[in-house]
A and B are shown apart, each in its own frame.
Chain A
Amino acid sequence: MTCENKKKQLPLALAGAVILSIFLIMAIFAPVLAPYDPHQRVGLPFSSPSGGHLLGTNDIGQDIFSELIYGSRLSLGLAVLTALVSTGFGALLGLVAGFLGKRVESVIMRCTDFMLVLPFLPLAILLAAMLGQGFFQLVLVISVISWAGTARIVRAQVLKVKAKGYIFNLQAIGAGPWYLLRKHIFREVLPLITYHTMLSASNAVLIEASLSFLGLGNPLLKSWGSILYYAQIRNAMLTDSWLWWVIPPGLSIAFLSAGFLLIGFYLEAYANPRVERGQIDA
């Protein structure tokens, strides 16, 4: 049954990998691929698509296609960095809580409880508005609001691993806590952590887009969310320009976010013991 699953999931994971590679190439070779500098006014404002401007121009005459290509840099970079920071922090807290137990555990778990109750986007808006709008501020804000889920699940997994017979046996023959944590517990939790890294990358793409759309992104960096912000305040939906000004950035966001998710699903087959037992087939 497990084999069957992985067979069904493999094409999806490959699709995810292809999506991510396309965006990676776009981000790395942006100056080569983009026909114009996205920060320069290179055409008449509000032009429709034409040979010169594949996706037309925006409200101040910047080439939307070039903006789109440069936008992949911010989205991809931010997603990866945020995923590493927030999953790293969450996993660390989860490991510490699960392994040490007692006071430390209850304090950490109370904090994650609190974070999980709070509505994440309003909190992100508040923090982003007050911290200012640099790239690293955005990474910080998104990490602050998204570490808690990872911490909780990693802790649960650590507790389960700790209860396994072999850990107990190792302790009996004198294995120290640091050795156990490093050699066994961390390794058993690692697949789950990689899965969560993909999940947070996928979420980070969406949250960044939302914040940029609300005017909280960095005005100096092109981002898909900020393209949509200008499309919204210039009422692109009321004219035909939504077809080239609104649709492409939105699809880019969706595909990038889904790309991370598809790979994540595949990793989950390794991370989630339930799947191994064939209880959940997809």
Chain B
Amino acid sequence: MYVLAKARAKSYLTPGKGIEYTPIPWKSAFTELEQLRRTQGIMQHHDAITGTMRAQVLADYISMVSTDVAHAEGIVPSMVAVMMAKAARLRQAFESNASPLPSYSLTPAWKTQPDGSKHMVAVLYNPLAWSSKRIVTVTVQEARIRVVDNNGDEVPSQVRDATRRLLHMRDVAREVWWCSWMVFVGACA
């Protein structure tokens, strides 16, 4: 299903065939999405989505939702373009053994601290309705790396494929709760 959806999305982006879109800067997209989130928040109110409001209030709600959804719909094509570009660049990066996607990707960026040390942050999110514990794999740029969780406790890990610069994190120390997350920090050993 994902492949079909991706193919369809790609066809949308074909010049002359698909929809026309203008890339939207992230900051303005962020602002618009934040506004939609807040409007959607108001809609969960017990006199909104319930339908127990007065007619003029309903009209106001519809106006708010329509405006913000229209902005979000304008963002979606740009999102699809980014996804497609990302997939292509990611594949290219793997094939050429180059550092994949220095600006954004599945590779967490390295941060240089004031003392000169470097670290990367990876967030592991569990979208399931139950806790989960399993081995995860994160692409890294440094092979010599020490991984700790957000409590500072070391997480056992090993490099699975140094050629591709993959870090294979195994035996995650703690379960990730449902709909929750934990943060890993990798620092140069």
Pair from one complex: no
Q: Which residues of B contact A (CB under 8 A)?
A: none
Q: Which residues of A contact B (CB under 8 A)?
A: none
